[in-house]
Amino acid sequence: MNPTFPATLGGLLRAFIWQHRIAYGGAALMLTGISLLLVWIPTQVGRIVDGLMTHQLTGPAFYRQLMWLAGAGLMVYALRVGWRLALFGASYRLGQRLRVQLFERLGLQGPLFFQTQRAGDLMALATNDVDAVETASGDAMLAAFDGTQTLLLVMATMVLVIDWRLGLAALLPFPFMAWSFWRISTRVHEAWSQSLADFGHMSRQAQQSLSAVRTVRAMGLAAQEQAAFKRWAEASGEAAFRAQRWEAAYEPAVGISLSAATVATLGCGAWLIARGELSVGQLTAFVLLLDRLIWPMFAAGWVLSLLERGRAGWTRLAPILRAEPSRLDQGTAAPVQQARLQVRDLHFVYDSQQRATLQGIDLDLRPGRMLAVVGPTGSGKSTLLRLLLRQWEPTGGTIELDGRPLPDWRCRALSAAIAWVPQEPFLFSSSVSDNIALARADASQALIQAAAQAAALHDDLVRLAQGYATVVGEKGVSLSGGQRQRVAIARALLSDAPLTLLDDALSAVDTGTEARILEALRERRRQRPTCALVVVTHRLSAAVDADEIVVLRDGRITERGTHTELIALGGWYATQWRYQQLEASLEDGEPT
Ligand SMILES: Nc1ncnc2c1ncn2[C@@H]1O[C@H](COP(=O)(O)OP(=O)(O)OP(=O)(O)O)[C@@H](O)[C@H]1O
């Protein structure tokens, strides 16, 4: 577990408040000033009432007292603005820090993590759950401090300054209120936890439906997806409303308790006035002070509710923020100079699989050369590339690039050294130009165009209304599958990476285009002899010119050699080649 973040909300808030002690201290001082003034005002009113009743307060002295009251009111206003700026300024920083760290942490996680976490849930964490923790560090801290302080000050003034017997009478209903608060806060916590969990489900549902919008429509699943979304939205809303309903019960509990306290105070006060032990002004001040207790009572309920929400949010956030990165970046070597690849006795087993996906793989790829990996579907070809990219760690054996094991390289250096074109390339929702220049933001338009030409994409692009400036839509929806593949190939051609990995990346182009692209890649190796190419392909025509072809079957290399050698061997490769040649000639209408 990553120790940067404490496991509990209490721990997090303590650490954060200590870190921002000046802002919190300033807010606390201003709140104390407000509480003192708010307690002083009723006692001042009491003094004025007594002065008026005894005719001792008249003329300028009376107006002076009124001015003091007005001054105190203005001061309260100014201090209220001050604490808000200090406190909320700090609590927003917590929200911001949590969001940034969440994003950074997600960047350190590998595929295994994302196999168990869903994007929608992670979005809900970054929005709703962070909000809940932020509010707990701002509003809740304010209400807890201010409520407690006001309560203590008001009680002390009632008991010590006015009359302790009145104070005792006013306290009689308080045990009932404490019991009600405890009951209500338990229910509020349950309801908020449920609401946040259901909100996560709702976000996940929305993310899933929107990212697969074409499939959803094509399969006529829109109504079903909408119903699922509605179900989670309703469940989340219902749980939030349940929490609000329980929170609403605070008000009657406070109202009943304060009414009972007022009745007890008036009864006891009348008795004390009759005995000549209390003045009318003192009773007035006391009753006004009772009013000051409303805020601490509400604050108690509010604080409990906000902290419960914050706790529910933190319970979901902390495991993600504290999770160890699944891809350790402890290497120091950089940059990779040349694409020399050595794989020795490589084994790999996916956690969820019983059998090894790769077993005893040995490969040698020298700069300037091309390796082709072929084999039946599910034989482990893409897995091999994922291990080269360090998306997964081998369970046995070693992979060396430019003479060093992969973990010795800085992750950034490794990413910069390998241009990977996956089976389904990802395009960002920006222009085609930007998508091609992703790995080289400084590339000129001429270079981008040259890469597009080499990837046999240029002619397609000039036919688009906006040309290279065409925005490709989310995930590149406005381009065909073959165009998306060629944008990704142009991206690889433009990058400085010495090692290029094509994972069945020519499957959506015709054989003529495939040949042009392979020729461009060969030309690149000729111009930059430090570069090498690994091509995973089902179509053997893409492997013919490779310096070495390996056949993977059930995770093992069963055949290896050049095209001519493998044809002579008469194994899987030779059979597939004959079959694919026959298929191609039938498509061309040339019966053999
Ligand atoms: N993330 C994963 N978790 C568990 N098993 C996986 C995962 N990815 C792939 N596999 C399994 O590993 C095996 C090899 O898959 P891989 O994608 O490497 O095959 P491939 O040769 O590239 O297949 P294709 O030619 O169809 O793309 C398959 O049995 C697959 O089910």
- Shortest-distance Cα residue to atom 7 of ligand 1: 350
Does any ligand 1 atom lie closer than 6 A to the CB of residue 379?
Answer: yes
What is the residue extent of each domain of the chain? 9-201+240-322, 341-587
Measured in Å, residue 384 CA sits from the centre of ligand 1 at 10
Please say whether the beta carbons of 245 and 138 come within 8 A: no
Q: What is the pLDDT of residues 300-346, one digit of tens each?
A: 777 887 888 899 889 889 988 888 877 677 778 878 888 899 999 99
Measured in Å, residue 394 CA sits from the centre of ligand 1 at 15
Ligand 1 atom, smallest distance to 115 CA: 1
- Shortest-distance Cα residue to atom 23 of ligand 1: 378
| CATH class of the structural domain 9-201+240-322 | mainly alpha
Ligand 1 atom, smallest distance to 555 CA: 14
Measured in Å, residue 570 CA sits from the centre of ligand 1 at 27
Q: What is the pLDDT of residues 190-206, one digit of tens each?
A: 888 888 888 888 888 88
- Shortest-distance Cα residue to atom 26 of ligand 1: 377
DSSP run (H or E) holding 242: helix 222-248
Does any ligand 1 atom lie closer than 6 A to the CB of residue 330?
Answer: no
How many CB atoms within 10 Å of residue 64?
10
Does any ligand 1 atom lie closer than 6 A to the CB of residue 332?
Answer: no
87 against 269, higher pLDDT = 269
Among 348, 357, 553, residue to substitute to test ligand 1 (most atoms within 8 Å of Cβ): 357
Measured in Å, residue 354 CA sits from the centre of ligand 1 at 13
Separation CA 314–CA 15 (nearest Å) = 14
Q: How confident is the model at residue 415 (pLDDT cuts 50, 70, 90)?
A: confident
What is 341-587's CATH topology? Rossmann fold (3.40.50)
Does any ligand 1 atom lie closer than 6 A to the CB of residue 537?
Answer: no
Most confident of the ranges 133-137, 342-346, 433-437, 524-528: 342-346
Separation CA 475–CA 483 (nearest Å) = 12
Q: Which two tokens stand for residue 582?
A: 């026959």
Among 377, 382, 572, residue to substitute to test ligand 1 (most atoms within 8 Å of Cβ): 382
Ligand 1 atom, smallest distance to 352 CA: 4
> What separation in angstroms does the CA of 163 have from each of 52, 157, 395?
21, 9, 78
What pTM was computed for the model? 0.68
Does any ligand 1 atom lie closer than 6 A to the CB of residue 570?
Answer: no
- Shortest-distance Cα residue to atom 9 of ligand 1: 383
Please give the pLDDT value at position 588.
Answer: 66
Please give the pLDDT value at position 591.
Answer: 47
Strand partners of residue 561? 549
- Shortest-distance Cα residue to atom 31 of ligand 1: 378
Asked if the domains 9-201+240-322 and 341-587 are classified in one and the same CATH topology, the answer is: no
Kindly tell me the burial class for residue 567, based on how many C-beta atoms sit within 10 Å of its own C-beta (0-12, 13-18, 19 or more): middle
Q: Which two tokens stand for residue 541?
A: 């025509």
- Shortest-distance Cα residue to atom 25 of ligand 1: 377
Measured in Å, residue 111 CA sits from the centre of ligand 1 at 13
Q: Which two tokens stand for residue 511?
A: 């054989």
Separation CA 484–CA 469 (nearest Å) = 15
Please give the pLDDT value at position 477.
Answer: 61
Please give the pLDDT value at position 185.
Answer: 76
Is the model's pLDDT at 49 over the cut of 70? Answer: yes
